[in-house]
Amino acid sequence: MSVREIALAYLARDWAPIPVPFGQKRPTLSGWQDLRITEATLGRYFNDRPRNVGVLLGMPSRGLADIDLDAPETLVLADTFLPPTSSVFGRSGKARSHRLYVCTPIVATAQFEDVDGVMLVELRSTGAQTLFPPSVADDDARCWHQDGDPAPIDGRALLEHIQRLAAATILARHWPDVTAHVRRPGGRVAE
């Protein structure tokens, strides 16, 4: 499929696609947060030139929220803490790192960092955008793992799931290596 056909398919899902320069993650158009492309104006933004496809989240896409799993530990813990959804994508370096939900009510964008400033997980909503498949940035293509419908969820409940995931991730990142402190019978430390 061409990028134009993909953007059109996202429009058909009630998502708000926006153009992003090929190879980049962020839109460069002034006022991109307010851009609302229609089927009639699609060709102006998505034509024969290479392009990435971003999707505006939250209000412009009827409550669509992207849970961006940034830390390796969040990827491991996500299936335990996040509700299932049939809409999951990522890239080769971070498979299944984006989970999509439709929130009612829509909740605000939120970021969860560790004490050292490392981003753990983001809830992206109104005012934010995410690069969607098949976009390429950092020489890494985004690809669908499950291209179904995002799970509907109460936005406040989703935020609680993400808060628990962030807390568990912090514990996982800072938990001491207990094997270094295990004592064998007789009081010797195991090596």
Q: Which CA distances in Å does 115 have to 13, 99, 173, 179?
A: 38, 24, 11, 24
Encode the chain (191 residues) as per-residue pLDDT tens digits.
899 999 999 999 999 999 999 999 999 999 999 999 999 999 999 998 899 999 999 999 999 999 999 999 999 999 999 999 999 999 988 999 999 999 999 999 999 999 999 999 999 999 999 999 999 998 899 999 999 999 999 999 999 999 999 999 999 999 887 555 555 555 554 44
Q: How far apart are CA 105 and CA 101, in angstroms?
A: 12
Q: Where are the domains of the chain?
A: 3-174
Residue 11 is predicted with a pLDDT of: 98
Which residues on neighbouring strands pair with residue 64, listed in sequence order? Answer: 58, 102
**Pair 141, 92: CB distance under 8 Å:** yes
pTM recorded for the entire structure: 0.90
Residue 24 is predicted with a pLDDT of: 96
Query: Span 3-174: which CATH code?
Result: 3.30.2250
Q: Which CA distances in Å does 1 have to 7, 43, 105, 133, 177?
A: 10, 15, 34, 11, 48
Cβ-Cβ contacts under 8 Å for 165 (sequence gap 6 or more)? 74, 77, 78, 81, 82, 120, 121
The DSSP call for residue 150 is: P
**Pair 10, 53: CB distance under 8 Å:** yes
Residue 103 is predicted with a pLDDT of: 98
